Structure 1
Amino acid sequence: MKTILLCADTDVERVTDQVESLTTLPLDPDRVRVVLYHVFRADGTEADARKLKSVGRATEALEAAGFEVAVEQSSGDAAREILDAAESFDADLLSVAGRRTSPTGKALFGSVAQRVALRSDCPVLFCSAASD
């Protein structure tokens, strides 16, 4: 079974675009498990990725498309946590969403999606909402 790690933030539209990109690929849902993964900025005992609207919608859409779905979470540096999760879950593909950032912002700060794409040992599917 193949594993796709879908890195879900709190933006419903971005996560919806990620789900759409996966469901339009020629994948056999019976042979693919999607791990919806959210990284919280701070460690909180009350934090629960399943309560995020973006994760809930993604879970519903992926399950409706026939995929096995798991929800996982962590807290800390998002890029590092995502890369560690990809290794831990033995991910075959990472799905990340980008945000529009100015060239200066990219040069100064980079982005989580950029850091993940540059450091990942597995393929990265980079999705970006047209309206972002």
Structure 2
Amino acid sequence: MKTILLCIDTDVERANEQVRSVTELPLETEQVRIVLYHVFRADDEDADAENLKSVSEAIERLEEAGFTVEVSQSSGDAVRSILEKAEAIDANVISLAGRKRSPTGKALFGSVTQDVILKSDRTVLLSATE
């Protein structure tokens, strides 16, 4: 069985693009487990990723496509959390949603996507939106 760690934020459009990029791959859905993963910025005991519209819509669309979906969450540093989660579940692929930003924007604000790509030894599937 292959495992995809689909790292999802709160943006519904980016989440939909990530789901589309996965569902269009030539995969045998019964041989793939998808772990939807959200990293909250702050530690809030009441936070529940399944209450996020981006996550609930992604679950619905992936299950309709025939995938087995699990939801997981954490809080804190997104890059570290994503890399640790990928290791913990032995993910074959990390799916990320990128945003088109200027080189100056990337330099000033950093990029979770860029850091994960550079620091991971796993395959990274990038879905980019405007």
Residue 91 of structure 2 aligns to a residue whose secondary structure is coil
Name the residue aligned to 2:83: 83
Question: Separation in 2 of the partners of 1:115 and 1:74?
Answer: 18
Q: May I ask how many residue pairs the two structures share in their alignment?
A: 130
Distance 2:112 2:42 in 1: 16
Q: CA deviation at 1:102?
A: 1.8
Q: Offset of 1:101 from its aligned partner?
A: 1.7
Report the 3-state secondary structure (helix = DSSP H, G, I; strand = E; otherwise coil) of the residue aligned with 1:56.
Answer: helix
Displacement of 1:108 after TM fit? Answer: 3.1
Alignment of 1:19-30 (within 5 A): 19-30=19-30
Query: What SS class does the counterpart of residue 74 from structure 2 fall into?
Result: strand
C-alpha separation in 2, matches of 1:72 and 1:54: 14
Match of 1:40 in 2: 40
What secondary structure sits across from 2:10 in the alignment? coil
- In structure 1, the gaps of 5 or more residues are none
* Equivalent position of 1:31 in the other structure: 31
1:60-97 Cα shifts (integer Å, max 9, x gaps) = 00000000000000000101100000001100000000
Q: Distance in 2 between matches of 1:75 and 1:86?
A: 15
What is the percentage of aligned positions where both structures have the same residue?
63
**Deviates most, 53-62 or 93-102:** 93-102
Q: Does 1:2 align with 2:8?
A: no
Q: With structure 2 as the length reference, what TM-score do the two structures score?
A: 0.97
Deviation of 1:109 (Å): 3.1
1:103, distance to aligned residue in structure 2 (A): 0.9
Distance across 2 between alignment mates of 1:120 and 1:11: 23
Match of 1:50 in 2: 50
Write the distance in 1 (CA, Å) between the matches of 2:116 and 2:123: 10
Superposition deviation, residue 34 in structure 1: 0.3
Match of 2:108 in 1: 108
RMSD (Å), alpha carbons: 0.7
Residue segments in structure 2 that go unaligned for 5+ positions in a row: none
Q: How many Å separate the matches in 2 of 1:108 and 1:55?
A: 28
Shift of 1:111: 0.3
